[in-house]
Amino acid sequence: MFKLEELLESQIDKNKKPFIYLAEGSLDKDARPLAAAYRLSEFSNVVLIGKPGLMKENAANSKMFAEYAAKINMQSTELIAKTLERVEVIDPETQETAEKRKIYGAGAFKLVGQKWKKSETELIEMMKDHLLFAIMGTAEIDGYGRDGHAVLGGLYSTTGSFFGPGLRLHPRSGTVFEAGVFSFQDDNCPRNVYPGNIVIFGDVAVVTEMSAEKLADVAVGTCKIARDLLPEKDFPEIYGSIVSYSTKGSGAGPTVDMTREAYKIIADSLNKLSKIDPLYKQIHITPEVQYAVAVNGKQAERKLDINDPVNAAAGRSNVIILPNLDFGNSMYHLHSAYYPDSQKILCVGGFKNNSILDFSRGQKIEEVILGGMAVILRQQYLQDFNPKLGK
């Protein structure tokens, strides 16, 4: 049995700290970003976006913040002070950020000015918005670059105010999707189902209209996230299954056809990925199997030739690829409800620089920390990772 926090921490290089922007430092009376920043500052250069006075006030009045402080043997006042010593705070509404607002607004104008029907002057003024400032601070701006590696938000911001603008302003590498990662505790693990008591579902939140091409992207991307997060010594191979109501022709229908078409694309995608890093050769994806066949060895043996390489993941998958969002989102929430003590995080795939994490609004402080740690680790795996960006 493995604990997700220990797996992530064991792999993070503390000498290669990325710049991580927490976009919601003071946008609500929620102190989760400030609490998470203390732990995340061990592995990254944390930049809290917001007003320091409000951050202190929100934390001082937060029961959740006080309970977390007690868990790490501190009083709220001590945790507030120590966190603010360790991080940088940027208030986008001050005169000190005027030059950055000009740069970010001009960059946004090139990217979306016409689509948003906004002038450059209007977009510069819009950079006083904390979320937009954080998004542009971690976007790629022609002739400038970027100040931060990744931005984290969504704890109490709507999709339209955080993730939606991020989709338009950050460069993509393929289909954007979200993977849900669960690490079950010893006393509530679904026994003999998920190897090492860890499972990763994709897509759970983004792709509303699936196609064969998008499904192939989600399948390969979710398995890539698994390889990035799970250490090779404990998980030498990554096994993923695209689940269906059909197992190798037992059923027929549009989603079955789509799954088969997706698999034709997957082999080429995996070959390209393995040229980036040989570790990705350890990914195996089996298409068109029922859920029980994906996770149960006896079911797999009964219904499939498990010696066929195409079925390598059957019966031992801990990456589950879902062919539509209804299925994926339901699996995420089913496991969240049935295993409330599990450690769970979300990871976003499809952005060129692994540059955005959109949290679920109900996530605990510990889950915000885990999500941030996963972003940090995935940043360090990027081929062109440069820890010496601006800030």
Cβ atoms of residues 135 and 165 within 8 Å: yes
Local confidence pLDDT in tens for the 391 residues of the chain: 688 999 999 999 999 999 999 999 987 778 999 999 999 999 999 999 999 999 999 999 999 999 999 999 999 999 999 999 999 999 999 999 999 999 999 999 999 999 999 999 999 999 999 999 999 999 999 888 899 999 999 998 999 999 999 999 999 999 999 999 999 876 666 666 888 889 999 999 999 999 999 999 999 999 999 999 999 999 999 999 999 999 998 999 999 999 999 999 999 999 999 998 999 999 999 999 999 999 999 999 999 999 999 999 999 999 999 999 999 999 999 999 988 888 899 999 999 999 999 998 889 999 999 999 999 999 998 867 777 665 4
In angstroms, the CA 155 to CA 133 distance is 17
pTM of the model: 0.94
Residue 188 has what pLDDT?
62
Same fold, 4-171+352-381 and 173-338: yes
Query: Which is it for strands 198-202 and 172-183: parallel, antiparallel or unpaired?
Result: antiparallel
In angstroms, the CA 75 to CA 87 distance is 19
Q: Is the dihedral of CA 356, 362, 368, 371 positive or negative?
A: negative
Q: Beta-strand (E) ranges in 2-133?
A: 19-22, 45-49, 88-90
In angstroms, the CA 389 to CA 19 distance is 8
Regarding the domain delimited by 4-171+352-381, which CATH topology (the fold level of the hierarchy) does it fall under? Answer: Rossmann fold (3.40.50)
Residue 82, token pair as written in the block: 């120590």
Residue 296 has what pLDDT?
93
Phi, psi of 284 (to 5 degrees): -125, 130
Pick the CATH number of 173-338 from 3.40.50.10750, 3.30.70.890, 3.40.47.10, 3.40.640.10: 3.40.50.10750
Domain residue limits, the chain: 4-171+352-381, 173-338
